[in-house]
Structure 1
Amino acid sequence: MDRFVSFRTGSRTSFGLLTEDGIVDLQSDQDRFGSMRQALQDGALPLLAEMGAARGADYAHEAVTLTIPVPDPEKIICVGVNFPDRNAEYKDGSNQPEHMSLFPRFPRSFTGADQPLIRPPESPQLDYEAEIVLVIGQRGRRIPEDQALAHVAGLSLCNEGTIRDWTRHGKFNVTQGKNWDRSGSIGPWIVPFTDPAQLADIRLTARVNGELRQDDRTSRMLFPFARIISYVSTFTTLMPGDMLVCGTPSGAGARMDPPRWLAPGDVVEVEADGIGILRNPVADEVS
């Protein structure tokens, strides 16, 4: 399984192929791609996999810090309430929604794998949400559902960390609770998408300090992956490097009685079949 990463080492930022021996740096003077986003735009993941396989590792694993897989996306759009039991968690008597709930997140609100999720001093209510990420590889607008998956270049994972009380500050939006700096994570890598079967029935879980908190399958999503792409592309042009974060199962800390918020020292692991494990510790913000 090819795994493409973006990373930094010292003052250098780059992207490459993760191997058993380390990281093959695929951004260099003799190569044509200046960024992961550029490589996605050119449909170059198969070529990069060949290039990486033919070269030795440039960096040991421990010599780099992983960043989010596409550090400079034009947009990140998240889907809310996309599993059946999630709607019931709200206990408001509402029917399953006809249309999906959406909100944006800014790249700065995410960090990479193994980096701490940051709890701000303004609220202790840092929560976790395990989600699958679609990384767009082909531009599209008003994409029919039966053509939607052709626009996906790869898959990744997200812990869509949320400051819960701040999602209730406004009447009609959750944006301010979803965009605290480094409150969530995306990664650790991009797995190339080559077959619709990769998305058919993925088991998605979240563990906090080894305790299983979330556990569901993508076959139960209210809005399947192809429908998400089609719906979002109706009102905005999807661009290579865009990331669609596709919804979380029930079991987040806010829905427990009493709620169980993340605290410094906790470790959260998001795992999905065929993609991997995204692991992050939790820390308080340091001024």
Structure 2
Amino acid sequence: MRLATFTVDGQQLWGAVGETGMIALSDAFPQWPSLRWVIAARGLETVSNMAKTRAVSHPFGSFRWDIPVPDPEKIICVGVNFPDRNAEYKDGQDAPPHMSLFPRFARSFIGHNEPLTRPPESPQLDYEGEIAVVIGKAGRRISRADALSHIAALTLCNEGTIRDWVRHAKFNVTQGKNWDGSGAIGPWLVPFQSPSQIEDVGLSTKVNGEIRQQDRTGRMLFPVAEQISYISTFTSLVPGDIIITGTPTGAGARFDPPKWLVPGDQIEVSAEGIGSLINGVRDE
């Protein structure tokens, strides 16, 4: 069962994705105002069972897709997490012993089928296709052996970046990674049930039908279990937290000349067992 968050007439709802549209469920569970609350209560199975008893309430095209967990406490992104991505930096350095991390704000993401926003301050809007994991069980100093048991669900991310703002200061990337509406998460949550859903999964990004990024999670420098363990060393992970796990080589900045996103482009991020996240581009 796939679960999603959507907006109709200015009201944000959540529910299950049916064959022809959305099955609204939030009215049946007023104690859970968002999917973050469902996850925290370990209610994914409960709401999925309810969905089986209901018909589609909102056909496709009658609502706006939102990011599945609209109110996470934190979103943490893992950078330079595939072998070829490390080589792109051409600095002669081997893969680092520890992962690179940075935060993103929920406001920097929009949902499926919504356009990424290119700001007037820079034309360098770039794409990064990734898998995102949503934490379901709180923990601190989680062991790698137990890490995957803390995942509630999987989704997709286009970790859109304003490239020249990534190097606006001496050592941080926060500015380039947090422009309002520059990235996307979605379309839905796929409940996590088996390590096979994340340990060696194909991931790809297409721009206007052309494959730009393609790799497998089995080649990550820092696998998802290690990410959860490492991050939880310094901060408590709580239900609804999102970890964006890293992008393969092939972002637009790495072409010569660079291939920045422009209005009219369509970006499709896909992963085996999860689906596809599709977004256009608009100027702010």
Q: Is TM more than 0.5 here? A: yes
Answer with 51-60 or 124-133: which moved more.
51-60
**Inter-partner Cα distance in structure 2 for 1:131 and 1:157:** 6
2:267 matched to which residue of 1? 268
Spell out, residue by residue over 1:137-159, the C-alpha distance to the aligned partner (whole angstroms, 9 max, x if none): 11111000000011100000000
Paired amino acid for 2:157 = C
Is 1:54 paired with 2:23? no
Give the structure 2 partner of residue 130 of structure 1.
129
* Paired residue secondary structure (2:122): coil
Letter in 2 for 1:116: P
The residue that corresponds to 2:117 in the other structure is 118
CA distance in structure 2 between the aligned counterparts of 1:30 and 1:238, rounded to whole angstroms:
25
* 2:249 match: 250
Aligned to 1:171: 170
Structure 2: distance between partners of 1:10 and 1:235? 41
Distance between the aligned counterparts of 1:274 and 1:29, measured in 2?
Answer: 28
Matched positions, count: 284
Residue 30 to residue 118, structure 1, CA distance change in 2 (3 Å) = closer
CA distance in 2 between counterparts of 1:11 and 1:177 reads 29
The root-mean-square deviation of aligned C-alpha atoms, in Å, is 0.9
TM-score by length of 1: 0.98
* Residue 30 (structure 1) shift: 5.7
CA distance in 2, matches of 1:34, 1:180: 26
CA deviations on 1:123-170 (whole Å, 9 max, x unpaired) are 000000000000111111100000001110000000000000000011
Shift of 1:29: 5.6
Give, as a single letter, the amino acid of the residue that structure 2 aligns with 1:11. Answer: G
Q: CA deviation at 1:32?
A: 3.6
Q: How does 1:194-209 map to 2 (within 5 A)?
A: 194-209=193-208
TM-score in terms of structure 2 length: 0.99
Contact in 1 for aligned 2:199/2:223 (Cα 8 Å)? no
Give the Cα separation in 1 of the matches to 2:196 and 2:165. Answer: 38
Shift of 1:33: 2.0
Residue 17 of structure 1: how far off its partner (Å): 0.2
Identity %: 58
Distance in 2 (alpha carbons) for counterparts of 1:25 and 1:148: 32
Measure, in 1, the Cα distance between the counterparts of 2:159 and 2:99. 17
The residue correspondences of 1:224-243 to structure 2 (distance < 5 A) are 224-243=223-242
User: Residue 210 of structure 1 aligns to which amino acid in structure 2?
Assistant: G
Q: How far 1:26 sits from its partner (Å)?
A: 1.1
Q: Is the 8 A contact 2:72 2:106 kept in 1?
A: yes
Supply the AA of the counterpart residue of 2:160: G
The residue type paired with residue 106 of structure 1 is F
Q: In structure 1, what is the equivalent of residue 222 of structure 2?
A: 223
Amino acid in structure 1 at the alignment position of 2:261 = L
Range with bigger deviation, 26-35 or 84-93: 26-35
Q: Distance in 2 between matches of 1:31 and 1:127?
A: 39
Moved over 4 A (4+): none
Alpha-carbon distance in structure 2 between the residues aligned to 1:31 and 1:140: 27
| Aligned mates of 1:116, 1:11 — CA distance in 2 | 18
Aligned counterparts of 2:130 and 2:3: Cα–Cα separation in 1: 19
Equivalent-residue separation in structure 2 for 1:267 and 1:102 (angstroms): 28
Residue-by-residue CA offset, 1:188-225 (whole Å, 9 max, x unaligned) = 00000001111121110000000000000000000000
Given residue 195 of structure 1, which amino acid in structure 2 is its aligned partner? S
